[in-house]
Amino acid sequence: MPLRVAVQMDPLEKISISGDSTFAIMLKGQELGHTIDYYAPEDLSWAEGRLWTMGYPVTVQQVEGDHYRFGEPRILDLHRDVDVVLMRQDPPFDLGYITATHLLERIQGETLVVNDPASVRDAPEKLWVLDFAHFMPPTAITRSLGLARKFLAEHGEIVIKPLHGFAGGSVFRIGGDGRNLASLMELFNRTYREPHVLQKFLPEIAAGDKRIVLVDGEVAGAVNRVPGEGEIRSNLAVGGKAAKTELTDEEQEICAVLGPECRRRRLLFVGIDVIGGRWLTEINVTSPTGIVAIDKFNGTDTPGLIWDAIERRLSRKE
């Protein structure tokens, strides 16, 4: 059925259409006959008991540098003028992001928001995963240099990264000699108000970090992201290379446990990260990526699965 869709995302002119998951979802939605409006999260306004935005009717095409066209802008009542809002802007997961979740939560009774804004707010990538600690590598969340030194002494080599970082930014490996640990903790403590993530370094990262996508709690596919030479970061945004992959038995077990929780929290599109075929490191719910590479290797249609799941959710609301 044709849907009226509003997409909350980063500026369209800045995306790389060759691998952008949101763009792939928009292309598929357009193919299915849905009408799509673009808006930026900072354009949200609450007035007269309703949530409004300035929307731009948009058409998209797979042409680099000429990949979108805007129609005349129009004021949208997100309660009444659209069927579904796709919350797809990238982190940082800051107060602006959190405020958008609070505003979008107010339309949930009339308009479907994907992913559910309250669940997105309550499930930061590197914190919700602690609910499944038995699948994780040894991990600490702290601002304490003393605890960091103790953690390093226990595990030999560690990784330190921002709690709300994204796309592989500011991830550092600390060797057993502890060189630069104090300086990095000092720098992180000055830069961030929240604590930081320390994890045991996993040598298996050399073979890749697997992104597994769940759509409405079911596995849609996976892609292995292999770090570039001299790197420990495998994110495609920082030079990692995508490779075809299959799920291990341990990864299938992780997905079987996470799937029902994703459905319960109304998290329709989720990306999880697994190292070494068994170590769960993150659960990405804010703006998951990876579906373009997955579909390229597997000949699948993950955007189609996402739209099918959206239609099922809408039909249950009627």
**Set 20, 209, 251, 273: catalytic member:** 273
Which DSSP helix (H) or strand (E) runs through 262?
helix 249-264
* Rounded Cα–Cα distance for residues 259 and 240 (Å): 27
Is residue 233 part of the annotated active site? The answer reads yes
Is residue 273 part of the annotated active site? The answer reads yes
Is residue 317 part of the annotated active site? The answer reads no
Tell me the three state secondary structure of residue 247: coil
Is residue 253 part of the annotated active site? The answer reads no
User: In this structure, how many other beta carbons lie within 10 angstroms of the beta carbon of residue 315?
Assistant: 9
Torsion on CA atoms 196, 198, 204, 210, rounded to nearest 10 = -30
**Set 88, 126, 200, 210: catalytic member:** 126
| Residue 251, both tokens | 């990864």
User: In this structure, how many other beta carbons lie within 10 angstroms of the beta carbon of residue 217?
Assistant: 19
* Rounded Cα–Cα distance for residues 291 and 242 (Å): 11
Is residue 121 part of the annotated active site? The answer reads no
**Set 88, 121, 161, 266: catalytic member:** 161
| Residue pointed to by tokens 């009774």 | 109
List all residues 6 or more positions away from 214 whose beta carbon is below 8 Å from its beta carbon: 220, 255, 258, 259, 262, 269, 270, 271, 272
Contact at 8 Å (CB) between 270 and 218?
A: no
**Set 225, 261, 266, 295: catalytic member:** 225
Tell me the three state secondary structure of residue 293: helix
User: CA of 208: how far to CAs of 9, 160, 216, 220, 226, in Å?
Assistant: 29, 18, 25, 19, 4
**Set 121, 233, 265, 266: catalytic member:** 233
Is residue 211 part of the annotated active site? The answer reads yes
Length of the chain: 318
Is residue 173 part of the annotated active site? The answer reads no
Catalytic residues: 126, 161, 211, 225, 233, 273, 282, 284
